[in-house]
Amino acid sequence: MALENLGKALNNALKKLARARTVDEAVIKEVVRDIQRALIMSDVNVRLVLELTKKIEKRALEEKLPPGISRKEHIIKIVYEELTNFLGKEAKPIEIRGKPTVLLMVGIQGSGKTTSVGKLARYLQKRGYRVGLVCADTWRPGAYHQLKQLAEPFGIEVFGNPEEKDAVKLAKEGVDYFRQKGVDVIIVDSAGRHKEEKGLIEEMKQISSAIKPHEVILVIDGTIGQQAYNQALAFKEATPIGSIIVTKLDGSAKGGGALSAVVATGAPIKFIGVGEKIDDLEPFDPKRFVSRLLGLGDIQGLLEKFEEASKEVKIEQDIEKFIRGKFNLRDMYTQLEAMQKMGPLKQILQMIPGLGYELPDDMVRMSEERLKKFKVIMDSMTKEELENPSIINYSRIKRIARGSGTSVRDVRELLEQYNQMKKFFKSMNRRKLAKMARKLGGMNFGGFGI
Ligand SMILES: Nc1nc2c(ncn2[C@@H]2O[C@H](COP(=O)(O)OP(=O)(O)O)[C@@H](O)[C@H]2O)c(=O)[nH]1
Ligand SMILES: [Mg+2]
């Protein structure tokens, strides 16, 4: 598991929130402080931590609660969202663009390049690509052998020549070799004998100009924490086709710092390394990563709940429409459709105590057939007619009936239905409507927009 300690600390902060009896300002501030501490312990840049947690605190204190959502759930969602944004928001998957796609792996010595070349090769092989590997590390004795040991058990071929001293020449030969073999992806491993960015970038440029890679991947050792910023920034400025793998996030105490520092440069992180074994490579997806980090097994369930809540807001907006007489035919169609899905409306309404209103029978017994017919009729109406049904006079009715292959009677029936519905809701007062909407929403009849 990547960033285990950070995950635990964040999870503890959320547990504290869960245990709190009431969530007031003091509790929110305490949770925010815990999150701050956890991130700083993980070597995240202090300024970034403060910016992030300020946002979390402000939203937690100021945002209005959506209906049906508890304050705790709301805060968890805010923490999840802000951390996800903080780590880059969307996943940036690797793209295999041409045949062959040429990838160049760079990074300073010991960062995990060769291991990552093997892992990435295996990852792509599992997805059906034929991969060839080129060892262009002429610096480290045994580099070629290391790569062969990693890849050959999986039938992945490695090109190299321990006698050759010219890395650029070797890289080019290797790429040509696999081009002729017709593989899908060629990954070139480089030496990265330099200790700092300048030499690294120079090496990258030399090899790049010889093999013209589709993408250069910088491997950064996650244990260096926020120092990763300078490397990632120099790299990003040097090549527009760069992406990043952050390695050693298993067991690293500073991994949070490394990840956030790279994200802050704007360079995309495509994978993370989470162990020494060939399968210990994960595509980096901020959403999944954060939900696992927070230990929110069911963040999806929570997000769905929020979606339901936003439907309820829609119900309230529709009530406004009714009251202001803005309810048009298009709205009615959506209502009828929702009603159809929901089953006998009358029963539902009777379950709401004190409502005291009876729905006209016609409105309740809306057969599917009739609904279909209404849909056909509405399809023959103009936009103006749907939005402002009062303009539909006799000649328009005739035209609509003709256009939809129905009768004048059918069209009139539809309009009658619409007027009934409108009248019915107008006769209710605002408070009762709101109450009904809440009940319906609470009973999980989302989408029933009245
Ligand atoms: N724990 C852990 N170790 C890793 C990871 N990636 C690489 N290593 C180790 O880091 C060391 C250097 O890796 P290597 O691929 O040779 O680095 P290179 O010099 O950049 O090619 C090796 O001992 C690897 O096993 C990782 O994601 N997690
Ligand atoms: Mg190496």
Q: What's the chain look like in SS3?
A: CECHHHHHHHHHHHHHHHHCCCCCHHHHHHHHHHHHHHHHHCCCCHHHHHHHHHHHHHHHHHCCCCCCCCHHHHHHHHHHHHHHHHCCCCCCCCCCCCCCEEEEEECCCCCCHHHHHHHHHHHHHHCCCCEEEEEECCCCCCHHHHHHHHHHHHCCEEECCCCCCCHHHHHHHHHHHHHHHCCCEEEEEECCCCCCHHHHHHHHHHHHHHHCCCEEEEEEEHHHHHHHHHHHHHHHHHCCCEEEEEECCECCCCHHHHHHHHHHHCCCEEEEECCCCCCCEEECCHHHHHHHHCCCCCHHHHHHHHHHHHHHHHHHHHHHHHHCCCCCHHHHHHHHHHHHHHCCHHHHHHCCCCCCCCCCHHHHCCCHHHHHHHHHHHHCCCHHHHHCHHHCCHHHHHHHHHHHCCCHHHHHHHHHHHHHHHHHHHHCCHHHHHHHHHHHHHCCCCCCCC
For residue 210, the number of C-alpha atoms closer than 13 Å in the C-beta half-sphere is 19
Cα–Cα distances in angstroms (integers) from residue 424 to residues 327, 421, 450, in the given order = 12, 5, 11
Predicted confidence (pLDDT) at residue 87 exceeds the cutoff of 90? yes
Range scoring the smallest mean pLDDT among 109-113, 404-408, 415-419, 443-447: 443-447
Answer yes or no: do 152 and 201 share one domain: yes
Q: Are 385 and 329 in contact (CB under 8 A)?
A: yes
> Does residue 297 lie in a domain region?
no
Residue 438 — pLDDT band, cuts 50, 70, 90? low
| CATH code at position 211 | 3.40.50.300
Predicted confidence (pLDDT) at residue 222 exceeds the cutoff of 90? yes
Answer yes or no: do 80 and 147 share one domain: no
CA of 95 to the centre of ligand 2 (A): 23
User: How much is the pLDDT for 66?
Assistant: 83
- Residue at a domain's end among 86, 112, 145: 86
CA of 137 to the centre of ligand 2 (A): 7
> Does residue 393 lie in a domain region?
yes
Bigger pLDDT: 438 vs 235: 235
Mutate to test the pocket of ligand 1, among 276, 281, 284 (most ligand atoms within 8 A of CB): 276
The ligand minimizing its distance to the Cα of 110 is 1
**pLDDT tens-digit readout, 128-179:** 999 999 999 988 889 999 999 999 999 999 999 999 999 999 999 999 999 9
Residue 446 — pLDDT band, cuts 50, 70, 90? very low
Ligand 1 proximal residues by C-beta, below 6 Å: 107, 109-115, 192, 219, 247-248, 250-251, 273-276, 280
Closest CA to 120 of 94, 97, 100, 139: 94
User: Nearest-5° angle of CA 14, CA 18, CA 24?
Assistant: 95
Beta bridge partners of 217: 105, 243
CA of 190 to the centre of ligand 1 (A): 14
Answer yes or no: do 184 and 322 share one domain: no
Report the nearest-CA residue for atom 3 of ligand 1: 276
Cα–Cα distances in angstroms (integers) from residue 69 to residues 26, 65, 298, 309, 317, in the given order = 20, 6, 15, 7, 18
Cα–Cα distances in angstroms (integers) from residue 446 to residues 69, 306, 316, 347, 431, in the given order = 14, 12, 11, 16, 19
CA of 130 to the centre of ligand 1 (A): 24
- Domain extent, residue 111, equals 101-285
| CATH code at position 426 | 1.10.260.30
Range scoring the smallest mean pLDDT among 227-231, 392-396, 433-437: 433-437
The ligand minimizing its distance to the Cα of 250 is 1
> Does residue 363 lie in a domain region?
yes
CA of 191 to the centre of ligand 2 (A): 6
Mutate to test the pocket of ligand 1, among 4, 114, 115 (most ligand atoms within 8 A of CB): 115
Report the nearest-CA residue for atom 17 of ligand 1: 112
The mean pLDDT value for 309-323 works out to 58
User: How much is the pLDDT for 361?
Assistant: 54
Answer yes or no: do 240 and 123 share one domain: yes
pLDDT over 90 percentage in the chain: 58
CA of 241 to the centre of ligand 2 (A): 21
Measured over the CA atoms of residue 125, residue 131, residue 137 and residue 140, the dihedral's sign is: positive
Task: Assess whether the previous peptide bond of 360 is cis (omega < 30° from 0).
Answer: no
Closest CA to 92 of 289, 292, 280: 289
* Ligand 1 atom at minimal distance to the Cα of residue 107: 20
CA of 156 to the centre of ligand 2 (A): 17
> Does residue 449 lie in a domain region?
no
User: Nearest-5° angle of CA 174, CA 270, CA 224?
Assistant: 95
User: How much is the pLDDT for 41?
Assistant: 94
Report the nearest-CA residue for atom 14 of ligand 1: 112
Residue 323 burial by CB count (10 A; 0-12/13-18/19+): exposed, middle or buried?
A: middle
> Any residues with CB less than 8 A from the CB of 375 and at least 6 apart, and which?
333
> Into how many domains does the chain fold?
3
CA of 165 to the centre of ligand 2 (A): 15
Predicted confidence (pLDDT) at residue 106 exceeds the cutoff of 50? yes
> Does residue 293 lie in a domain region?
no
* Ligand 1 atom at minimal distance to the Cα of residue 111: 20
User: How much is the pLDDT for 152?
Assistant: 95
Report the nearest-CA residue for atom 13 of ligand 1: 112
Predicted confidence (pLDDT) at residue 70 exceeds the cutoff of 90? no
CA of 115 to the centre of ligand 1 (A): 6
The ligand minimizing its distance to the Cα of 115 is 1
> Does residue 95 lie in a domain region?
no
Answer yes or no: do 64 and 198 share one domain: no
Residue 304 — pLDDT band, cuts 50, 70, 90? confident
Chain mean pLDDT for the chain: 85
Residue 444 — pLDDT band, cuts 50, 70, 90? very low
The ligand minimizing its distance to the Cα of 117 is 1
User: How much is the pLDDT for 232?
Assistant: 95
Range scoring the smallest mean pLDDT among 2-16, 112-126, 278-292, 424-438: 424-438
The mean pLDDT value for 40-51 works out to 96
Angstrom distance (rounded) from CA 248 to CA 257: 13
CA of 259 to the centre of ligand 2 (A): 22
* Ligand 1 atom at minimal distance to the Cα of residue 115: 15
User: How much is the pLDDT for 445?
Assistant: 30
> Does residue 50 lie in a domain region?
yes
Report the nearest-CA residue for atom 10 of ligand 1: 112
* Ligand 1 atom at minimal distance to the Cα of residue 273: 27
Answer yes or no: do 70 and 162 share one domain: no
Q: Are 271 and 281 in contact (CB under 8 A)?
A: yes
* Ligand 1 atom at minimal distance to the Cα of residue 219: 20
> Does residue 301 lie in a domain region?
no
Answer yes or no: do 257 and 169 share one domain: yes
Answer yes or no: do 257 and 111 share one domain: yes
Bigger pLDDT: 439 vs 8: 8
User: How much is the pLDDT for 370?
Assistant: 78
The mean pLDDT value for 178-200 works out to 90
Residue 313 — pLDDT band, cuts 50, 70, 90? low
Q: Are 254 and 223 in contact (CB under 8 A)?
A: yes
